[in-house]
Amino acid sequence: MEVLVFGSAIVDFVAYADRLPKAGETLHGHKFVTGYGGKGANQCVAAARLGAKCGMIAKLGDDAWGANYLKQLQAENVNVDYVEQCKGETTGIAQISVANSGENHIVIVVGANNLLSVQDVKKAKNLFDTAKVLICQFETPLNATLEALQSFKGISILNAAPAIAQTPPDLIKGATIFCVNETEAALTTGCEQISTLEHAKTAMKKLLQMGANNVIITLGALGAVYVRGEAPHTFIHVPAVRVEKVVDTTGAGDAFIGALAFNMARFNDLPWHQLIGAANRVAAYSVQHPGTQASFPNPEQAYYNAEYTWQEL
């Protein structure tokens, strides 16, 4: 096992329109699709699509959506020994609006995902003992997420999303890598906004002060920045891969996380700017294609054999 994901599985209901609606406004859309999502499952599939040996620990409803999702994960070559359909529960859903610019609004109802528990960590001890990289998020109960992080001995990535204004310190300290986007970083640290590299540097300093071991902040078209606890005064910017046209940004952050986990599991001897640069490329591929998991590349599409530039902030 290379990548283990402890997290959410949610079905996406996606409406496409020329722009996003204002408060109280109804718009005509031009396309509607359903798909498989949830940050946990997205990240797991993104890593599996690149060739990682992946396992998922998750909860689904005992409805048709849950049954179909289980089959979908199996089709993606994900180990589903600990993906459970829960009686009397509904599968989590996400209501997503996507504008022609690629921007999106998302509302989630997590359903069965709320049943993921500390006991599920203990039941899957064999996977926790053998996996190289663990990924967690905030779409499932936080006490279970903390147990997963504290029970894992390898490299753990906490994608603190959806962000929490006052994130419990033990969660921040519990992961090898604390990874958020600019909006999540602002909410977590109390920064007013993060729209520049200098803003991101300030947020990274605060996250280190809050106990994070290593920090990565993704910045969309600006790429990503990171700081490692072993070099707390060295802040690195890894530029994004250039994109000609953004089609749909839904799931791009999950594509980045899944690729990062794959890179950490398979190429951990490479410098971090290379691992993050390759993850940037996967995210760049994703935003140029519609859908969530449907937009994730295979190894040939990701074009991994490249050198990535970086600069110190």
How high is the pLDDT of residue 87? 94
Within a domain: residue 36?
Answer: yes
- Per the annotation, the verdict on 254 as an active-site residue is yes
Beta-carbon contacts of 184 under 8 Å, excluding residues fewer than 6 positions away, are 160, 161, 162, 163
Q: How far apart (Å, rounded) are the C-alpha atoms in residues 263 and 276?
A: 8
Q: How far apart (Å, rounded) are the C-alpha atoms in residues 302 and 93?
A: 28
Within a domain: residue 25?
Answer: no
List the pLDDT tens digit at each of the 313 positions of the chain. 999 999 999 998 989 999 999 989 999 999 998 889 999 999 999 999 999 999 999 999 999 999 999 999 999 999 999 999 999 999 999 898 989 988 888 888 889 999 999 999 999 999 999 999 999 999 999 999 999 999 999 999 999 999 998 899 999 999 999 999 999 999 999 988 898 999 999 999 999 999 999 999 999 999 999 999 999 999 999 999 888 889 888 889 999 999 999 999 999 999 999 999 999 999 999 999 988 898 999 888 876 667 788 899 8
3-state secondary structure 92-142: EEEEEEEECCCCEEEEEECHHHHHCCHHHHHHCHHHHHHCCEEEECCCCCH
Within a domain: residue 261?
Answer: yes
Within a domain: residue 161?
Answer: yes
How high is the pLDDT of residue 244? 85
Q: How far apart (Å, rounded) are the C-alpha atoms in residues 297 and 286?
A: 7
How high is the pLDDT of residue 11? 93
How high is the pLDDT of residue 96? 87
How high is the pLDDT of residue 305? 64
Cβ atoms of residues 281 and 303 within 8 Å: yes
pTM of the model: 0.91
Q: What angle do CA 132, 129, 52 make, to 5 degrees?
A: 30
Within a domain: residue 246?
Answer: yes
Within a domain: residue 153?
Answer: yes
**Options 129, 248, 254, 269, the catalytic residue:** 254
Length of the chain: 313
Supply the DSSP symbol for 143: H
How high is the pLDDT of residue 302? 76
Residue 115, both tokens: 């049943």
| Residues spanned by the domain of 163 | 3-20+30-312
The count of domains in the chain is 1
List Cβ<8 Å contacts ≥24 apart for 105-112: 105/20, 106/250, 108/10, 108/139, 108/162, 110/8, 110/10, 110/139, 110/140, 111/10, 111/61, 112/59, 112/60, 112/61, 112/66, 112/85, 112/86
CATH number at residue 274: 3.40.1190.20
